[in-house]
Homo-oligomer: A and B are copies of this chain.
């Protein structure tokens, strides 16, 4: 319709600088008037790039993840990539299979804090360009946050309030994030001369916090740090039911800063992890990886959000 060959059409659209300006404009106008867009499947066939990214999350119902998905989504669309989403429903066994299935149709994958074992994950990352979000494995590009610094802020805050004995409610043993948090917390409390009572491991969910709340009280601590906000909310819930005042009797501190943290009463003091930013950074790293660059790792800052659930020690 523009009186040119298909080759010129393709050039006018994807490498505009090589066609004469008037031809280019004509082609583009006709394309627009026809609503023509190149078929991505056909293009992928020859370029080897699909323009699609895969994103894997363990459980979208955990409010931590939707924010990450949003970040990935937004950044990917900016870069004109579409996003395949897979939710494993915390099914570790299914994870690898899902990734492999998706791998065929994408240029690369963003894996969001998978529980998968390290060797498996490493193998996967050799098969398909992969970026890890909130998990770190040597040699695999990853986005994480400064857990150590976050913990330091949290503990310093509690110390400043006069707390000397702190409980930590641990998350799943197989979770990398939990191991990191424990490690950071031990280091920080040792340095601060604070006594640390570890308990758990609980499921990283509301009911996990509910189930461990009574043990926390029995430990006679004046403050408790939870693996994440959901667990902290579970603690708050059970404390309220037992008539334990927060922060009067015990201070509660979470991790993640999910939206709910602000909505409950008392609002939850928590260490905010970058979520949308992490998703965006994940996509950035992945796209750069696809372009041959080899940026290995990015570590984002954390920020203590002081709200109502922490106060002076009893």
Contact = CB atoms under 8 A, between A and B. Distances in A.
Interface of A: 37, 39-42, 44-45, 50, 52, 55, 60-61, 63, 65-67, 69-70, 73-74, 77, 82-87, 89, 98, 101-102, 104-105, 206, 233-234, 236-237, 240-241, 259-260, 262-265
Given A82-B102, A260-B263, A265-B237, A69 B41 contact: no
Contacts of A82: 84, 86, 101-102, 105
A127 to B, nearest CB: 9
Nearest to A239: B265
Contacts of A66: 60-61, 63, 65-66
Contacts of A206: 259, 262-263
B265 A104 contact: no
B265 A240 contact: yes
Contact of A69 (B74, B87, B236, B262): B87
Given A82-B86, A83-B85, 16 more contacts: A60-B67, A61-B67, A63-B66, A63-B259, A65-B66, A69-B85, A73-B86, A74-B87, A77-B98, A82-B101, A82-B105, A83-B86, A85-B85, A206-B259, A236-B265, A241-B265
B40 A105 contact: yes
B69 A259 contact: no
Residue with the highest number of chain B CB atoms closer than 10 Å, among A39, A44, A66, A236: A66
A83 B52 CA distance: 11
B74 A89 contact: yes
A230 to B, nearest CB: 8
Contact of A237 (B69, B84, B259, B263): B263
A280 B241 CA distance: 36
Nearest to A62: B66
Contacts of A84: 52, 82-85
Nearest to A85: B85
A233 to B, nearest CB: 5
7 contacts: A37-B104, A40-B41, A73-B86, A82-B84, A84-B85, A237-B263, A264-B264
A74 B192 CA distance: 47
A206 B40 CA distance: 40
Contacts of A236: 265
Contacts of A85: 55, 69, 73, 83-85
A212 to B, nearest CB: 15
Contacts of A55: 85
A-B pairs with the 9 shortest C-beta distances?
Answer: A41-B41, A85-B85, A60-B66, A240-B265, A41-B44, A73-B87, A66-B66, A82-B84, A60-B70
Residue with the highest number of chain B CB atoms closer than 10 Å, among A44, A85, A86, A259: A85
Contacts of A241: 265
Contacts of A101: 37, 82
Contacts of A50: 41
